[in-house]
Every structure is written in structure tokens, then in C-alpha cells.
Amino acid sequence: MTTPAQSAPVAVDRLTAVVDLDAVAHNIAILRDRAGGTPVMAVVKADGYGHGAPQIARAALDAGAAEIGVTTVDEALALRAAGITAPILSWLSTRGYRAAIEADVRLGVSSPRQLAGIVADAHAAAVTAVVDVKVDTGLSRNGVAPAEWAATVDALARAVADGAVRLHGVFTHLAHAELPEHPFLDVQRDRLIAAAADLRARGLDPVAVHAANSAATLTRADLRFDLVRPGIAVYGRSPLAGDDCGLRPAMTLAAPVILIKRLAAGDGVSYGHTWIAPRDTVVGLVPAGYADGVVRSLSNRFEVAIGGRRFPAVGRVCMDQFVVDLGPDGGGVSEGDTAVLFGGDRPGEPTAADWGDAVGTIDYEILTGVHGRVVRRYVGAEGPGTSR
């Protein structure tokens, strides 16, 4: 690979999510390698986990992903409008089928009622709908419930026979994938295999059996089947504790230090004075707050990297800003210097996982929570460019 091991340092003039599309390409290469030749569907739901769905989809497809996965039909249609022509599967919509069918978007089916709606819209559009039936093998979330499986297979057989529907795949979602040894993975695998056999016994031939999210793609060859569906790993975050799998975080959240001032020992910082300067010190102001995804529960619990050094954020995170303690000597920081809130690709940088650990959530929620006034800048394969 020609991809450098680390991305270049970032410099920003406002709160910016710098998205490195070379990192996405690198991560897709790792996932393709781990998938051992099984096609990769890059999951870009929730606006590409906060990274920008069309940009990530394009970078992933250019790097060899075969398909794109999203939750809603609206997300799928937005990708079509952005010029993405690759296969797209949308697995969590109960509306908008006709537009999806006409835009050649595959639909996940989780119940006979949903299938009936798809069949009606396929007739109205006079176009065959292509579906992947989703089996609930034990996550008890979406997917056809065991009690409705027989009725769903019957309805599918009828819909296929009258030309309203073509069955493309059968799939499921795993409950314990981040624990590769968990015995329930075997239970879900075997239930999925049985579901595929049920379909074949009715003359329905799913060409794509699929189950693996990032964690399963990275660890379980027996769960690859015909297609793998990684999400978080595309963005460079490993779902496996203590193993980064060589992935590179694609997003760096950064902001300039916009104001520097001296405080005397005993001065309080931010609302409620939850931090009091223990000594004379210098603080820097960073224009990012909870309205942008720097969750308030991080108050007094995170650090930023400036010029490769770590500094603690002190006092409450406000809607629009927070304060960093630069130490008595000011840490060599000047107004206009860039503070990295999280990135993780260069030595010394905090990560989205650090934030998750600090506030009792996961990096998935941190990444998808980046919003508000954050501007995105794309670097690498497709960049430079700014959106929003």
C-alpha cells in the first residue's frame, strides 16, 4: 500500500472534522483482506457515521467495496441523487418503497406486512422489487420474528412467482460480534443457515447470505458467507478491545485556540466554577461545545492535543466553547494554534474511544454525534474540499 502510516498534522481556522479518505481506502483494504475475497458492503448509515455518506461511499467503492448499506430509504435515495450507482441495501424503512424500487435500491424485509407494502408498490411502479429478507436469529430487534418466518416465506414465494419481487439475499445481525468466542455467534450462524435452507426448499434461491458486521468480518471466517457488512471499521475504529487491527481513524475533530489568557490561583473556570485554578496558569479557549458533539458529560474528563502535547480541558463544557489549561508557562501555545479534540492517527492524540470511555458510551455514538457547526474538510483520495 502507498498509504502513509499516519496522516499529516491538521491546521484549522474553525471547528472542523477533517476526514481522511486515504484512511478510508486503507481500512477498506484491511477489511477486504480479512474478508478473504468475500465482497464488502460498506455501511454508511447515519451520514456515514458522521463522516458524510456520499464521500465515504465513493471512497469505499473506489477502494474496492462492492456495495453500500444504509438504514432508511431516504439515505439510499440521497446516495443515488449524489450519483452513487453501486448496489445499495436499505434495511430499516417502512415507507418510500416505490421510490426505492424505482431507484434500484434493495429493501430489507422484516415482516409479511412490510413485504405486502413492497409488493403493492412494485405493482404500482410496474417494476420488480429486489429484497433481502432479514431474519431475527436472536437479536430481537428488526428482522423476521421466528413466529412469522413461515408466513413470510409463503408470502415471498407468492410475490416471486407473480413477478413483484426478486429475492436477492437473506441476512441477520449479530448480538455479540465484538466477543469472537461468544457461543451465541454459533447459534445465530446456524439459525441463518437454516433460514437460507428454508428458502431454498421453497425454490427461492438467495444469492447473498450475510451476517458479519465489522467485528465479525475481522474475526470470524465462518460468518463471512457471501457478503460482509462492516461499518465502524470503515471509519478506522476497531470494535475489538485492545486490537486496532491496523485500522486508521478517518476523522480528526479539531478547532483553533481562539483566545489565551492568564488566570491567578483560585480563579474559577466556566459555569459553576467546577474547576478552580490550583496555581497561576494560562488557559486557552476552544470554540466547540455540546451543540457540536462535545458532550457536556466530558466536562473535566478529557484532554486535547496541541502541537503534539496533551493539555486537560477544565471546567464545564458549554454549548459553544470549552477551556484548556495550558499550564503556568502557557505550554508554548499561541492563539490560532490547532487543538485536536480527537483523531488518534498521530502519536499523543486523544481518540473517539477515549471520549466514549470517559462518559460511558462507545466511539460509535461519539462519531455520529459530531454535528452542529462542525465543518467537514475532506483530504486524501478525493480532497481537498469542504462541505456544510
Ligand X SMILES: *Cc1c(COP(=O)(O)O)cnc(C)c1O
Residue positions annotated with a catalytic role: 45, 271
Stretch that binds ligand X, among 223-231, 259-267, 342-350, 370-378 (CB under 6 A): 223-231
202: annotated binding-site residue?
Answer: no
Alpha helices in 252-382 (DSSP H): 352-359, 363-368
Nearer to ligand X by Cβ, of 239 and 315: the residue is 239
Q: Does 230 bind ligand X (CB under 6 A)?
A: yes
- Own/partner contacts of 183-189, CB < 8 Å, gap of 24 or more, are 184/138, 185/216, 185/220, 185/223, 187/137, 187/138, 188/137, 188/138, 188/139, 189/222, 189/223
Residue from 7, 214, 219, 281 touching ligand X (CB under 6 A): that is 214
Q: Does 231 bind ligand X (CB under 6 A)?
A: yes
43 contacts ligand X (rule: CB under 6 A): yes
CB of 220 to ligand X, least distance (A): 13
**Neighbouring C-alpha atoms within 13 Å toward the C-beta of 329:** 2
Give CA–CA dist 221/35, Å, rounded. 7
Contact range with ligand X by CB under 6 A, out of 162-170, 219-227, 229-237, 243-251? 229-237
Cβ atoms of residues 73 and 56 within 8 Å? no
Q: Does position 72 bind ligand X by CB under 6 A?
A: no
Q: Tell me which residues in 99-158 interact with ligand X (CB under 6 A).
A: none
Minimum CB separation from ligand X for residue 58, in Å?
19
Query: What number of CA atoms fall less than 13 Å from residue 92's CA on the CB side?
Result: 11
Cis omega (within 30 of 0) on the bond before 384?
Answer: yes
Under rule CB under 6 A, residue 239 binds ligand X: yes
Distances (CA, A) of 360 to 297, 353, 363: 9, 10, 10
Tell whether residue 224 is among the known ligand binding residues.
no
* Shortest distance (Å) from residue 317 CB to ligand X: 26
Work out whether 232 is an interface residue with ligand X (CB under 6 A).
Answer: yes
Interface positions with ligand X (CB under 6 A): 43, 45, 91, 173, 213-214, 229-233, 239
